[in-house]
Amino acid sequence: MATKNSYIPFSSIVVVVVMISCVNVSQFCYAQNVPIVKGLSWSFYDKSCPEAESIVRKQLKKVFKDDIGQAAGLLRLHFHDCFGCDGSVLLDGSASGPSEQDAPPNLTLRARAFEIINDLRARIHKKCGQVVSCSDIAALAARDSVFLSGGPDYPVPLGRRDGLTFATQNATSANLPSPRSNASVILASLETKKLDATDTVALSGGHTIGLSHCSSFTNRLYPTQDPVMDQTFAKNLKAVCPAATTNATTVLDIRSPDLFDNKYYVDLMNRQGLFTSDQDLYSYSKTKNIVIDFAVNQTLFFEKFFVAMTKMGQLSVLTGSQGEIRANCSVRNSDNKAYLASVVDEDGERLSAF
């Protein structure tokens, strides 16, 4: 288990959430300003798998020592899963239909992130049995990606169950906003998930780590350069992406690409945000001052990021007896059984043929 000391930046919040006084307002249980969906809990696996969190942290420390870039891949994976945090983004499309992995915004999710989640799942299930869901593992992996990259440590409410159905390509595309959108479109999109302007600006701070492909931002370079973009920044981007379709990547946060800090907001104030959806947060009246607040106060950003991630991490979760605990994050248990059964059948046939 991570030391309690690592929670120091959030000690006050932790105390509050641990001593939850539960007031049921519709399906929510409010702990100060962090609402918890009924069915999730801060201590969900305390009895059934107390090692779950330490297994994730210990293993990710090793993974990130080799390649800190994987932290960004895991953080983004959780975000994509979370427009319905039920692990459905993890489902392998090939098994029984188009999955979230195959929807356009997911084309650039890192394949390695899926492998890491499956590997964590194997380690946890080996220790505790099939009791921890893939969606909870993805949520914990995202938290540890933030923390191990220099960001805040924070508690994650657990108890999510894994979905039985694939999200359709259409639903996924409609849910995930485009990097070409302006701030008012991004705000409206996240507002449908009850995420407000502060949440939206804080969550966008996830772009303080990781990479982007040229195709996600070359609309700002060609055919005409976005006048808002800093000239030197634009010149350097054009060198990385000489054409709109160049297959190359560049960092999202030029000041500290691998560090989870508030420099992303400093980038925006210097017109060095990569996507329209990033840069416009500093142009738009409803979000500009939030960008400035986070740029000058990292502690404030970390606090608001925790609140927003906790909200995002509970979007349309399955709990209780809904869904399932997948034995393999890539396939539904029913498909897994069919697969195993077919292996046994073939084996049986072969044996009977002898």
Ligand X SMILES: *[C@@H]1O[C@H](CO)[C@@H](O)[C@H](O)[C@H]1NC(C)=O
Is-contact 140 87, C-beta < 8 A? Answer: no
Name which of ligand X, ligand HEM, none residue 303 binds, using a CB cut-off of 5 to 8 Å depending on partner kind. Answer: ligand X
Residue 257 among known ligand-binding residues: no
Nearest to 324 by CA among 163, 100, 136: 163
125 in active site: no
Residue 206's binding partner out of ligand HEM, ligand X, none, with CB under 5 to 8 Å set by partner kind: ligand HEM
Tell me whether residue 213 is annotated as binding: no
210 binds ligand HEM (CB under 6 A): yes
Q: Is 207 annotated as a binding residue?
A: yes
Which residues does 11 contact at the CB level (< 8 Å), separation at least 6? none
Cα separations in angstroms, 253 against 202, 206, 277: 15, 10, 14
Nearest to 331 by CA among 85, 81, 88: 88
Interface residue with ligand HEM among 213, 255, 286, 288 (CB under 6 A) is: 213
Note whether 201 and 287 are within 8 A (CB).
yes
* Alpha-carbon span 42 to 227, nearest angstrom: 47
In 49-167 the beta strands, taken as DSSP E runs, fall at none
Nearest to 219 by CA among 187, 201, 245: 245
Q: Give the interface segment with ligand HEM, choosing from 42-50, 84-92, 176-184, 226-234 (CB under 6 A).
A: 176-184
How many Å apart are CA 247 and CA 150, to the nearest integer? 29
**125 known member of a binding site:** no
| Binds ligand HEM by CB under 6 A, chosen from 52, 72, 116, 138 | 72
Is 152 near ligand HEM (CB under 6 A)? Answer: no
Residues that bind ligand X (CB under 6 A): 92, 95, 101-102, 106-107, 109, 111, 114, 168, 170, 182, 184-185, 247, 297, 299-300, 303, 328, 330-331
Among ligand HEM, ligand X, none, partner that 107 touches (CB below 5 to 8 angstroms by kind): ligand X
Q: How far apart are CA 252 and CA 266, in angstroms?
A: 12
Span of 4-12, 52-60, 209-217, 237-245 interacting with ligand HEM by CB under 6 A? 209-217
- Minimum distance, C-beta of residue 304 to ligand HEM, in the bound complex (Å): 12
Q: Is 216 in the site for ligand HEM (CB under 6 A)?
A: yes
The phi-psi region of residue 282 (left if phi > 0; otherwise alpha if psi is between -120 and 50; otherwise beta) is: alpha
Residue 73 binds to ligand HEM (criterion: CB under 6 A): yes
By beta-carbon proximity to ligand HEM, the closer residue of 72 and 331 is 72
- DSSP string across 237-249: HHHH-SSTT---E
> Closer CB to ligand X, residue 159 or residue 323?
323
Residue 37 corresponds to which tokens in the numbers above?
């969906």
Closest-CA residue to 330 (of 126, 156, 91, 159): 91
Catalytic residues: 80
Binding residues: 81, 84, 86, 88, 100, 177, 207-208, 253, 261
Contact residues toward ligand HEM (CB under 6 A) are 72-73, 75-76, 79, 108, 110, 177-179, 186, 203-204, 206-207, 209-213, 216, 252, 277
